[in-house]
Chain A
Amino acid sequence: KAGVTQTPRYLIKTRGQQVTLSCSPISGHRSVSWYQQTPGQGLQFLFEYFSETQRNKGNFPGRFSGRQFSNSRSEMNVSTLELGDSALYLCASSSQGYTQYFGPGTRLTVL
């Protein structure tokens, strides 16, 4: 099976702009989770989607949002970008076996 894919791999934006990141899970996986990784805060949970429903959200401001489509592909959106949003954004998918498999990540730089 193909692994988790994320697009784009690299992104440069300026403050105040918005950005959309995409994640395609492993075929058959219905759960998609997003994580933010920064040197200072480490890996932090953003949100989890299952069958197009957000089941859980981490402690992030409302500028961070996401959605999941009927084919389990997921997108996350960050509006009104701030410098502190610069990070590696990781997507992971899982079936009901608890093991999450990660994509290569999207490196977002906010200038």
Chain B
Amino acid sequence: AQTVTQSQPEMSVQEAETVTLSCTYDTSENNYYLFWYKQPPSRQMILVIRQEAYKQQNATENRFSVNFQKAAKSFSLKISDSQLGDTAMYFCAFHITQGGSEKLVFGKGTKLTVNP
């Protein structure tokens, strides 16, 4: 079974600093997708970044980047120049395809607080 583990329940960072959120996963699949989603207090789940497992290059989206280590099954998210608006729950998710169907398996989340 595919599982996703986020070992940091809570983290805090000062505005303008850099923070890294950890995520590990377990799968026997070779081709898959990984995602980071952000859920601010408004509860809207927002896509932050996506990584295809077959791509060796780490994905980046503006201030957000990932460190994808396929052999180690690790998928960490780095937020540079943290902003107050980055305060949110961050979920790491693994995309599963089963017999034509698809679903996401989520980690428990990391609550990130950006302090002024």
Contact = CB atoms under 8 A, between A and B. Distances in A.
Contact of A45 (B37, B47, B104, B108): B104
Interface in B30-73: 33, 35, 37, 42-47, 50
Contacts of B45: 90, 92, 102, 105
Contacts of A105: 43-45
Tier of interface size on chain A: 20 to 34
Interface residues of B, number: 25
B106 A43 contact: yes
B102 A48 contact: yes
Contacts, number: 61
Given A56-B98, A90-B45, A99-B35, A42 B108 contact: yes
Given A55-B100, A55-B101, A98-B33, A43 B44 contact: no
Contacts of A88: 43
A100 interface: yes
B43 A99 contact: no
Contacts of A90: 45
B91 interface: yes
B104 A104 contact: no
A104 B98 contact: no
Given A55-B100, A90-B45, A98-B95, 14 more contacts: A33-B102, A42-B106, A42-B108, A43-B91, A43-B106, A45-B103, A45-B105, A48-B102, A55-B102, A98-B33, A98-B50, A102-B46, A104-B42, A104-B43
Interface of B: 33, 35, 37, 42-47, 50, 91, 95, 97-109
10 contacts: A31-B102, A33-B104, A43-B104, A48-B103, A56-B101, A92-B45, A98-B97, A99-B33, A99-B35, A102-B47
